[in-house]
């Protein structure tokens, strides 16, 4: 009986084991264990915080998905989708540009299936980042003019608004900046000019434009213009007998003036108040006001000008001019009249500085008379001469001429 019972127990155990094996066999056949792959989108958060913290993300195409591998029974895993998992990439955890990877938070299973007897894992665990510090540096805008202003006009002031521009960008790019320039064509400019939203260009140390920093960079440019004109001293009267006035100086000899374009166009020079040298026998240094037309202002210059007139004792040199040396101007072109100088010679005296008189000869004077519209008869005419600068005749000379028909 005991042996029979033992045999029965053994048979039963064998039967149970066989049944379990058969159950697993049937289970594996109908509901096998397998591995499935899901690709899920990461929930990216707070990327804007990088810029707020002065950090620039260089690799904008960083990984935004992860792969989840699930190992379990087919019946349980077949209905699981990517929407059943949630994983977060939170840039709020990036506090400096030294970070090169950001851990992925999760993923967390949020589906309805029971995955207790299933195993799953994901890749990658972190997202690789390329970060760089954002710099913000101020630079002065340089105004570069091309072309030339109208003759006689000068640009007296150029301003940019704002004068200082702050550039923001990655550290390596900002450190390469050498200058910010805006180019203005001033060809023919004769009046003040304002240009709104004038484009600027950013250049590196090699002189190449940094296009990404130049984009949408504008300033307001103002140009102020003045006209440069000569100051002419007005001298009236003559020095004392046997004296001559020579070099005349005025300081300033040129000034810048401002006013409306129409008024400036008409002004070619400015004159001083008169300086009277009547009967003086020595050099003169005086101050005189510069006379300004209505609507004209001097730029950064006093109205008072210093006028100097050199007066010195004159040397006298005498010349004897023969009648043959005297020529005729404006004779009748039909050759119907005959012209003759009656005196055989004319004596003249010229006052001036010794150096100029020493080298002066009669031929340099080109003596002549003007017979324009004169007819037959005898006429007294002024003797015309070419005198060197700073010399003058001691008196006015006339000659008698006779005109006859041929």
Same domain, 335 and 300: no
Domain membership of residue 116 as a residue range: 31-129
DSSP 376-401: SEEEEEEPB--PPTTEEESS--EEEE
Q: Is the pLDDT of residue 147 over 60?
A: yes
Same domain, 36 and 122: yes
Cα 112 to chain center, whole Å?
68
Closest CA to 50 of 156, 130, 163: 130
CATH number, domain of 329, equals: 2.170.120.30
Output the pTM of the full model: 0.57
Same domain, 89 and 49: yes
Closest CA to 340 of 310, 307, 371: 371
Strand partners, 210: none
DSSP 215-227: TT-EEEEEEEEEE
pLDDT value of position 340: 95
The arithmetic mean of pLDDT across residues 69-90, rounded, is 85
Task: Check if the beta carbon of residue 228 is closer than 8 Å to that of residue 267.
Answer: no
Same domain, 189 and 259: no
Same domain, 189 and 266: no
Same domain, 61 and 94: yes
**341-356 pLDDT, tens per residue?**
999 999 999 988 888 8
Give the total number of structural domains in the chain.
Answer: 5
Cα(54)–Cα(50) distance, integer angstroms:
6
CATH number, domain of 48, equals: 2.170.120
**154-165 pLDDT, tens per residue?**
999 999 999 998
Domain boundary among 227, 250, 280: 227
Domain boundary among 313, 332, 353: 313
pLDDT value of position 402: 95
Domain boundary among 289, 313, 337: 313
CATH number, domain of 280, equals: 2.170.120.40
Q: Is the pLDDT of residue 152 over 70?
A: yes
Average pLDDT, the chain: 88
Q: Is the pLDDT of residue 393 over 50?
A: yes
The arithmetic mean of pLDDT across residues 223-246, rounded, is 91
Residue with tokens 């920093």: 213
pLDDT value of position 27: 44
Q: Is the pLDDT of residue 6 over 80?
A: no
Confidence of residue 141 (pLDDT cuts 50, 70, 90): very high
């Amino acid at each position: 009986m005991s042996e029979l019972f033992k045999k029965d127990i053994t048979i039963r155990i064998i039967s149970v084991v066989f049944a379990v094996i058969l159950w697993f066999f049937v289970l594996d056949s109908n509901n096998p264990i397998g591995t499935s792959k899901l690709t899920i989108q990461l929930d990216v958060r707070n990327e804007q915080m990088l810029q707020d913290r002065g950090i620039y993300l260089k690799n904008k195409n960083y990984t935004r998905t992860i792969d989840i591998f699930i190992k379990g029974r087919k019946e349980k895993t077949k209905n699981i989708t990517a929407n059943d998992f949630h994983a977060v990439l939170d840039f709020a955890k990036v506090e400096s540009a030294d970070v090169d990877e950001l851990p992925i938070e999760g993923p967390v299973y949020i589906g309805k299936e029971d995955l207790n007897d299933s195993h799953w894992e994901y890749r990658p665990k972190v997202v690789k980042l390329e970060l760089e510090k954002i710099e913000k540096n101020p630079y002065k805008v340089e105004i570069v003019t091309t072309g030339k202003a109208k003759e006689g006009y000068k640009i007296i002031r150029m301003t940019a608004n704002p004068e200082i521009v702050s550039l923001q960008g990655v550290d390596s790019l900002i450190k390469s900046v050498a200058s910010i320039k805006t180019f203005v064509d001033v060809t023919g400019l004769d009046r003040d000019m304002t240009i709104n939203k004038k484009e600027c260009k950013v250049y590196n140390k090699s002189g190449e434009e940094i296009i990404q920093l130049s984009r949408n960079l504008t300033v307001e440019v103002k140009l102020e213009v003045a006209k440069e004109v000569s100051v002419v001293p007005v001298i009236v009267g003559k020095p004392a007998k046997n004296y001559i006035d020579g070099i005349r100086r005025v300081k300033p000899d040129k000034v810048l003036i401002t006013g409306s374009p129409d008024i400036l166009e008409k002004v070619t020079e400015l004159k001083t108040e008169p300086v009277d040298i009547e009967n003086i026998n020595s050099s003169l240094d005086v101050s005189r006001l510069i006379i300004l037309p209505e609507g004209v202002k001097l730029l950064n210059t006093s109205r008072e000008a210093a006028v100097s007139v050199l007066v010195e004792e004159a040397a006298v040199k005498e010349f004897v001019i023969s009648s043959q040396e005297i020529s005729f101007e404006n004779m009748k072109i039909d050759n119907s009249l005959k012209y003759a100088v009656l005196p055989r010679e004319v004596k003249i005296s010229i006052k001036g500085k010794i150096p100029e008189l020493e080298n002066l000869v009669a031929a340099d004077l080109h003596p002549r008379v003007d017979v324009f519209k004169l007819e037959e008869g005898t006429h007294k005419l002024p003797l015309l001469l070419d005198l060197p600068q700073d010399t003058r005749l001691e008196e006015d000379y006339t000659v008698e001429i006779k005109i006859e028909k041929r």
